[in-house]
Amino acid sequence: MVSERVEEYSSSEEEEVTTVTNGIKNTAITNGVSNEEAEGDGKEKETSEEPIEIGMQCGLKNLYSGKEDKRGRFQWQDKIPEDVGKPAEDAETAKWALLVRNVKVYNDPRKVLAIHSIVVQSPLLKKLLESVLKDYPGVTVGLQRLEFSGKFEPIIHRWSQLKEAISQIGDETEDQRKTKEHAELFHNLLKSEFKNLIDASQDMMSKGVMTYEYLWTLFQPGATVYARQDGQETAMKLHETKYGQDRNGNPCFWLTCKYIDWDGAKFGTNKLNLSIPIYSGTRSITQLAVYPINYHHDKDALRTRLIERGAKAESLAGSHYKSYHGIGWKRGTFGTKDKYNIKSRIVIDTYGWNRFNPSFAIFVTPLNQRDPVVGGTSGGDGDDGEDEDNYDDGEDNDGGMPIDGQFADEDDESRRIPLTTDQKLICTPLLRGYSLKNKLWLNFFVNCVKEIEWQTGAFDSLVLPSNQKDLILGFTESQRKYKESFDDVIEGKGKGIILLLCGPPGVGKTLTAESVAEEMRVPLYMMSAGDLGLDPRNVETKLQNILEMCTKWNAILLLDEADVFLEQRSLHELERNKLVSIFLRILEYYEGIMFLTTNRVNTFDPAFQSRIHISLDYPELSIDSRRLVWKNFLAGSQQPNTISSRQLDQLALMNMNGRQIKNVLKTAQLLASRKEAKLSYDHVMTVLDVTQHLHNSTQENERTRASIFC
Ligand SMILES: Nc1ncnc2c1ncn2[C@@H]1O[C@H](COP(=O)(O)OP(=O)(O)OP(=O)(O)O)[C@@H](O)[C@H]1O
Ligand SMILES: [Mg+2]
């Protein structure tokens, strides 16, 4: 009953009865009944006597799409559509060196056909093109079918290389002669088709101008382009280009570029989309927002500058305590760039940036590191081509999330593979870090980062009994050195050190913390109770974040006016009790050095007493101390003075604190310089006379305060 399945690959076209599709000769069968039979009867034959075993017939049954309706839908049929011809490419067409597909042109009165695509079949030509198109992204010449279509970008971009390669083919061997023939065939074909385009583009490039329509001819993928990013000169590797629309729907030319960035753990590439808005007529190439670096009027100097900056960026990978003078910015709520004028110490730390600004975190695609053995001897200082292998083109795993779902840990610095010159060239001009003064995470410019000018005399100028000074410095320094050696039974507990400085205003408590940090050359994180707020939930996270940062940066933490946290908990103030408990708990796990300062603590919470390692009392400055403070200030100032030793004694007799001395002296100096005279005792006395009421009233206040709290 069931007819035999006929299925064989056709090798000739003589048989007229059978149909041929895609090189396969078919006899169509419906439900096990041959087509002809079914048609003959006008309906399918009943096969009810023998049950059909579903899916058990070994064979394949073809169905064909029928006529399409307006929406591109069709019905399936088992007849081969009549207008199906033979495949255009077959054994016969395979012999030609080139296969050119042409399409009809409708809107150009000068021609009726245009090249749609070219298939390069000649193995000789393929070999030639291999060198011409070397490193061109997205083109693999070695494949069996090498096909060019669309705008033929690879060929147009490498036009001059193609011409050059053809001219260099010799004619000694048969192979060479044949290659030349094939290459010229290819060249002439393209020339006839694209002559106008190539001529126009090259003419414009030689004059340093370009039209919007021809922009794509200027930008070759893989080339180094130059642009200004946040006002900074930047070089990037061009990845791809396309015409499209900007956010407002206006036409523009998009360029996807790659640059090198540091993500807190490793260097890698990141992508940036730049655009050139549509313009009419020609425009000077160097006026474009982005252009190939070769068109820069001072390209050699620019290259050197960028490579130097890249090297600096490389040296700043990791966390570094530096000085900064320039603009820092961060993204505002509405995508704006909030700019800040920064002149302070900063800590550069991308890892911390990612940790505390997860929505603006930096991710990179790791660089494909060169195998040290296979990579050969070259140091990678070649400018062209060579280093391109180092960029991972493994597509888009930088889509805003780390690959393994977590931030990588900071790598061991010694294991980092140094950047090559080409990589330094395209290194980002931005660094991420924390401004200690503004207490903000910001983007900084590599060029504005400076070395810190340490105030070496700071600790010396602090007037304190010498044993007290020794104690503070000795304690903090050894704590840093031996941090690892002491640990509580629970890991991380009890590693830190907490110093309490207690005393009246202006006697050098804050200055102590400042000068210790300066002496030890570590960052000082100044925090006041106000920074933490009073809402217990916020306080906890804020405090934890700050402590984490300080531990990581080896910073000294200074909590000024810590009174709120230190006073004894009482039954009535529940909110404050919570604060104190949080503070006590978190403090115990802190692993760094912390200074607490306070003016007035009469009743310490007992829990604190055991947590504080050293508590120092700062008395009012003694006469001798005041004399020394006066002397130091005068010696430290650039302005000459005529104050004698005896006058200094007089000044020291006056009951003032360090801050008052500083302020009086500052005002007196202003007075003297206004009169263009040397600073004299009289100047100081005038200022004192004028501000007497201030001193009296502060002293008055002190007394009242003391009587309240003691
Ligand atoms: N012992 C001191 N030795 C040298 N300079 C001092 C001393 N005390 C105060 N000064 C000067 O006064 C300035 C203010 O001092 P500091 O900020 O350390 O006061 P403080 O004790 O923290 O006061 P407050 O409790 O008001 O915060 C210092 O910057 C310094 O110029
Ligand atoms: Mg202070």
Atom of ligand 1 nearest to the CA of 509: 21
Judged by DSSP in three states, 297 sits in coil
Contact 593, 476 (CB under 8 A): yes
Contact 99, 86 (CB under 8 A): no
The full length of the chain comes to 710
pLDDT for 615-627, tens place per residue? 888 888 888 889 9
pLDDT for 109-141, tens place per residue? 878 888 899 999 888 898 899 889 888 888 887
* Average confidence score pLDDT of the chain: 81
Nearest CA to ligand 1 atom 29: 511
Give, in order, the Cα–Cα distances in Å from 1 to each of 11, 52, 159, 202, 498.
30, 11, 66, 73, 98
Ligand 1 in reach of 629 Cβ (< 6 A): yes
Look at residue 89 and tell me whether its pLDDT is greater than 90.
no
Atom of ligand 1 nearest to the CA of 632: 4
692 versus 701: the higher-pLDDT residue is 692
Look at residue 101 and tell me whether its pLDDT is greater than 80.
yes
pLDDT band at 410 (very low <50, low <70, confident <90, very high): low
Ligand 1 in reach of 132 Cβ (< 6 A): no
Contact 536, 542 (CB under 8 A): no
Q: Round to whole Å and give the CA distance between 515 and 511.
A: 6
Closest CA to 291 of 241, 247, 249: 241
pLDDT band at 484 (very low <50, low <70, confident <90, very high): low
Q: Cβ of 281: how many Cβ atoms within 10 Å?
A: 7
Mean pLDDT of 396-407: 52
Which pLDDT belongs to residue 325? 95
CA of 503, nearest ligand number: 1
Helices (H), 463-535: 466-481, 509-520, 529-532
Contact 593, 479 (CB under 8 A): yes
Closest CA to 387 of 399, 398, 379, 396: 379
Look at residue 430 and tell me whether its pLDDT is greater than 60.
yes
pLDDT for 188-212, tens place per residue? 999 888 888 999 999 999 999 999 9
pLDDT for 316-340, tens place per residue? 998 899 999 999 999 888 888 999 9
Contact 657, 694 (CB under 8 A): no
Q: Could you tell me the distance, in angstroms and rounded to a whole number, from the CA of residue 208 to the centre of ligand 1?
A: 63
* CA dihedral angle for residue 451, residue 456, residue 462, residue 465, rounded to 10 degrees: 130
Contact 446, 350 (CB under 8 A): no
Instruction: Please write down the long-range contacts of 693-697, taking CB distance under 8 Å and 24 or more positions apart.
Output: 695/656, 695/660
519 token code pair: 């002496």
Contact 684, 656 (CB under 8 A): no
Q: Could you tell me the distance, in angstroms and rounded to a whole number, from the CA of residue 354 to the centre of ligand 1?
A: 37
Question: 584: exposed, middle or buried (C-beta count within 10 Å: 0-12, 13-18, 19+)?
Answer: middle
Q: Could you tell me the distance, in angstroms and rounded to a whole number, from the CA of residue 609 to the centre of ligand 1?
A: 25
Counting ligand 1 atoms within 8 A of each CB, the residue from 510, 559, 634, 661 with the most, and so the one to mutate, is 510
Which pLDDT belongs to residue 25? 46
Ligand 1 in reach of 283 Cβ (< 6 A): no
Ligand 1 in reach of 463 Cβ (< 6 A): yes
- Say which residue the tokens 């890892």 belong to: 351
pLDDT band at 295 (very low <50, low <70, confident <90, very high): very high
Which pLDDT belongs to residue 682? 87
Give, in order, the Cα–Cα distances in Å from 174 to each of 123, 167, 264, 455.
14, 16, 58, 79
Ligand 1 in reach of 510 Cβ (< 6 A): yes
Q: Round to whole Å and give the CA distance between 173 and 496.
A: 81
Contact 96, 120 (CB under 8 A): no
Closest CA to 191 of 146, 160, 218: 160
Counting ligand 1 atoms within 8 A of each CB, the residue from 502, 507, 527, 628 with the most, and so the one to mutate, is 507
Judged by DSSP in three states, 265 sits in coil
Q: Round to whole Å and give the CA distance between 18 and 62.
A: 14
Which pLDDT belongs to residue 588? 81
pTM recorded for the entire structure: 0.76
